[in-house]
Homo-oligomer: A and B are copies of this chain.
């Protein structure tokens, strides 16, 4: 069973519901949808009167956590929100994976409170795959923790290393530290300290790397803080869109295919005991469908 927050994201609940419907119909996937029950039923009736025939379960969650809500406060106060209830259903083993396109800070806070941290990891990180020439590169943190310490970067390098082994199937993935120059003297105070920690670690650390090195596959894993990682990912996406806007339709499709933006599904929150998928707030039904398929894949591992 995959738990899905019906009220998270810019196009909730309609696009979330549509994505869920596609999965339960086409793939017979078991999905638990969290949101205001009556509203969800009304929308589902409009979309497909036969929805009750599919493995789709509704759970009433009348409250909503908005994108602008302060994460920790919202999670503590809105215990009947779709977001909190989605995460809780994984914490109490009712579902195997949770998905939300809502307030990513709140998703993280809820995951920390109800699921709890992996041993040895002080703070979680959002991990995703960035397209590159030879194979995708594991990048973290993509936005979970905006203010981090060198020890967090060090721990995330280990999380990324383990994730790359599993997802990319590489025996000893190399790890790079995102910086404003490849020389060891480049970086912020925090990345310089993380550099020293990583040099002393058993990981195959290759040093500082720049954005161009990521797409050149100089490392299999790239570690950075959540603020810069988020800007990295969104700048990549924005620049692909910018380039595509000047191209004819066939070239645009080629670029979207090669840069794999059409296959985006979500980032996985690492460093907590159970898997949680965080989906971009502007997710339409196709992204939700892919997120559900990724969640199913993760839950089968």
Contact = CB atoms under 8 A, between A and B. Distances in A.
Contact of A255 (B131, B183, B226, B247): B247
Chain A's interface size range is: 35 or more
A204 interface: no
Contacts of A188: 146-147, 227
Interface stretch (A33-41, A47-55, A64-72, A86-94): A64-72
A170 interface: no
A262 to B, nearest CB: 14
Copies of this protein in the complex: 2
B243 A259 contact: yes
Interface string A221-252: 00010111011101111111111111100010
A238 B131 CA distance: 12
B185 A211 contact: no
A146 B239 CA distance: 23
Nearest to A226: B180
Interface of A: 67-70, 131-133, 143, 146-147, 178-181, 183-185, 187-189, 191, 210-212, 214-215, 224, 226-228, 230-232, 234-247, 251, 254-255, 258-259
Given A68-B184, A181-B230, A239-B240, 17 more contacts: A68-B183, A143-B180, A146-B188, A179-B227, A180-B227, A210-B234, A211-B231, A211-B238, A212-B241, A215-B239, A231-B231, A236-B239, A239-B239, A239-B259, A246-B254, A247-B247, A251-B251
19 contacts: A68-B183, A69-B185, A143-B180, A146-B180, A146-B189, A178-B231, A188-B227, A211-B238, A212-B241, A215-B241, A232-B235, A236-B239, A239-B239, A239-B240, A239-B243, A240-B243, A243-B243, A247-B254, A251-B251
